[in-house]
A and B are shown apart, each in its own frame.
Chain A
Amino acid sequence: MSSVTASRPPVDRVPLSEVLREVLKHVVMVALLLLFLCPLLWLLLTAFKPYAELFNSPPTVLPVNGTLANFTEGWAVGGGKGIGDSLIVASLSTAICLVLGFPAAYALARRFPPHGQLSFTILSLRMMPPIVPVIGFYLLFQELSLFDTYTGLVIIYTFMNLPLVIWLLSEFIRQIPKSYEEAARIDGAPWYRLFWDVLLPLSAPGVLTAGILSMIFAWNEFLFALVLTGENVITLPKALASFFLFQQPNWGQLGAIGIAAVGPLLIISYYMQRSLIRSFSIELGGR
């Protein structure tokens, strides 16, 4: 038995089994994390290596002659266009999704029973494998002269993300007590002020989450971009894929553009963690 002294506050004794369990838990977590982060790390390291160094045997892990050339060249050979086009298409479709989705979500949340048929039907549109409608869209786009246009791709991404945005927002709005809206009506707010002053600020975390997810999906989308665009619109995933069309892809440039593709997502996800988790746990809590 140790005596309690002023200089050393007593510490709860932790049983050995508890310590072992914690250690084991952390070993497993670190192992899994390494497994998932390894490709990403390799991509990052590759982006800073000159072309010749990639084929060193044995391979070097850290770049020996670090260079930024891959980034500047990658930007020039299609990365810049890819980022620009992806930004245009993703942000426009996200904006339209939110503008159209919010009123729909509000109606769904306030006028229909939770987890009802309508809500499910809307979400089920998102469950369809994208490969199913793509041929139909291809023919349709040819007819409507939407093939290889920004408009076409924005329409497609809106079509793709709207169900998710509506569903996510409606679940979020359902959690907002009606009394706020009633208070606003009683305070004399017309509908647009009710929306702008009360509803929008209260649902901001939901709007942010829906917006980010819609942005991410559009940013990552490959299949529709591949089939429905040609030379004119080249989004980032398509730009990345086009590297493989050459006889020997420039891995360094590929890595640099790859970093540009995932970097923004990682940064956004990191900062939005809380808001994202909050929205998702609301979804789960609503069951």
Chain B
Amino acid sequence: MASITLANINKWYGQAVHAVRDVSFTIEDGEFFGLLGPSGSGKTSVLRMLAGLESATSGSILFDGVPVEDKSPQERNIAMVFEQNALYPHMTARQNISYPLKIRGMSKADIDAKVAEVAGMLNIAHLIDRRASQMSGGQQQRVAIARALVRNPNLLCLDEPIAHLDTLLRARLRGELKRLQRSLGTTSVIVTHDPIEAMTMTDRLAVMRDGVLQQVGTADEIHSRPVSAFVAQFFGLHSINLMSIEGVVELPRLMGRFGGETANLPTALRPNVSSDAKLLLGCRPSGLDVRRAGEAKPSTDTLQVRGKVYVSEQLGDSLLVTVQIGPDTVQALIPNDRKFGLDEPVDVLADEAALYVFDPKTQSTVRFAPRTISPGLGNPPAVYA
């Protein structure tokens, strides 16, 4: 177990590709840390540099304060679970799990005891003499995790370990991995492009984009206080709605144009209007409400704009309504006791307290939503309060 520090890490592939740009963060001892980002964001490169599979072009990596840039994966004592092709196909599960111990010259009796221990921990004792081809994807990943844990690594690296499994299995392994990590206390890093995985499993996480670290924090911090429109959009169960409002005027109520429609804006946003009369607003689907056209009266503390229903989707206990406003669309997550027909004219409403404001040029956050609304339901917008 170890705490890990990355300081000003850069990675160039050849002369042309600057894959990781000046990334610095610290992973605490025993922490489950997530690296989240779309493909090509450099998250895997960071993990591979941590593991020692690739070397950083510049910058330093410290394990418990000791530089490890010149050390091999083995010397760093890291373990890794790969997305695919993780197990040696010509060996049984037992041989796979015992391989790192065999390399270290451990005695047969000790190996057998260790293998039995992790096999029990991961519920794979009954698969122990099967080869990879005789196991399902989930079973293979369990064995791969067992192989990683069998030697008490300083750092457990997980490279999209459950990304290619089916949805149900993924949900189950998410929970298992998290429990396992908690009970063992092994410092772990998971790379994922799935915000739900990152949110549910990790203690803290880093969001990356185009090789640049965007934000580091707990899932809750990043969800409620995203530093930029990108982070807000990327992170969350449903993507945040970005609304680019132009031609904002005060006569005397604050108004602007969104998707060609006139939008009524909360007065509180007056100080955030840019010099060229623009506003870039963000609102999570759970912060939006949809009402039949004309049902709600415009007020000074809500955003309100007319649109028509593009489609509404049942999500069991809630309804995801996509509303078309000119060329733009927004999504609202509302209680499912309402029904909307296709192309039905509606008003989209958002409480001032649910609105983020981003800089229209830099996309960085200017104002956090004062009241964050947790994803899912139970917290319908209080526009009628």
Contacts and interface: CB of A to CB of B under 8 A. Distances in A.
Given A185-B72, A185-B73, A186-B51, A179 B103 contact: no
A190 B47 CA distance: 22
B147 interface: yes
A186 B90 CA distance: 18
Given A188-B74, A188-B103, A182 B80 contact: yes
B84 interface: yes
A186 B84 contact: no
Contacts of A182: 53, 80, 82
B85 A187 contact: no
Interface string A178-219: 011011111111000100011001100000000000000000
B86 interface: yes
B82 A179 contact: yes
A206 B186 CA distance: 40
Contacts of B72: 185
A12 B103 CA distance: 59
B99 A187 contact: yes
A188 B104 contact: yes
A189 B103 contact: yes
A89 B147 CA distance: 45
Interface residues of B, number: 22
A201 B100 CA distance: 17
B12 interface: no
B53 A186 contact: yes
Nearest to B159: A179
Contacts of A177: 84-85
Nearest to B53: A182
A113 to B, nearest CB: 12
A201 B73 CA distance: 23
A179 B90 contact: no
Nearest to B85: A177
Interface of B: 51-53, 72-74, 78-80, 82-86, 88-90, 99-100, 103-104, 147
A179 B82 CA distance: 7
Given A180-B88, A183-B88, A193 B103 contact: yes
Contact of A198 (B78, B84, B88): B88
The CB with the most chain B CB atoms within 10 A, among A184, A185, A186, A201, is that of A186
A187 B147 contact: yes
Interface of A: 177, 179-180, 182-189, 193, 197-198, 201-202
Q: At the interface, is chain A mostly helix, strand, loop or mixed?
A: helix
Nearest to B157: A186
A194 to B, nearest CB: 10
B82 A185 contact: no
B80 A183 contact: yes
Given A179-B84, A182-B80, A187-B74, 11 more contacts: A183-B88, A184-B99, A185-B73, A185-B74, A186-B51, A186-B73, A186-B79, A187-B147, A189-B99, A189-B103, A201-B90
A179 B79 CA distance: 13
Given A186-B53, A187-B99, A179 B88 contact: no
A113 B104 CA distance: 35
Contacts of A198: 88
In the complex, the 3 A-B pairs of residues with the closest C-beta atoms, listed nearest first: A188-B74, A187-B100, A177-B85
Nearest to A198: B88
Contact of B78 (A179, A186, A189, A202): A186
Contacts of A179: 82-86
Contacts of A202: 88-90
Contact of A186 (B80, B85, B88): B80
Nearest to A185: B73
A186 B85 CA distance: 14
Contacts of A184: 88, 99
B377 to A, nearest CB: 41
22 contacts: A177-B84, A179-B83, A179-B84, A179-B85, A180-B88, A180-B89, A182-B82, A183-B80, A183-B88, A184-B88, A185-B53, A185-B74, A186-B51, A186-B80, A187-B74, A187-B99, A187-B103, A188-B104, A189-B103, A193-B103, A197-B88, A202-B88
Contacts of B82: 179, 182-183
Contacts of B89: 180, 202
A183 B80 CA distance: 7
Nearest to A202: B90
A282 to B, nearest CB: 15
Nearest to A176: B85
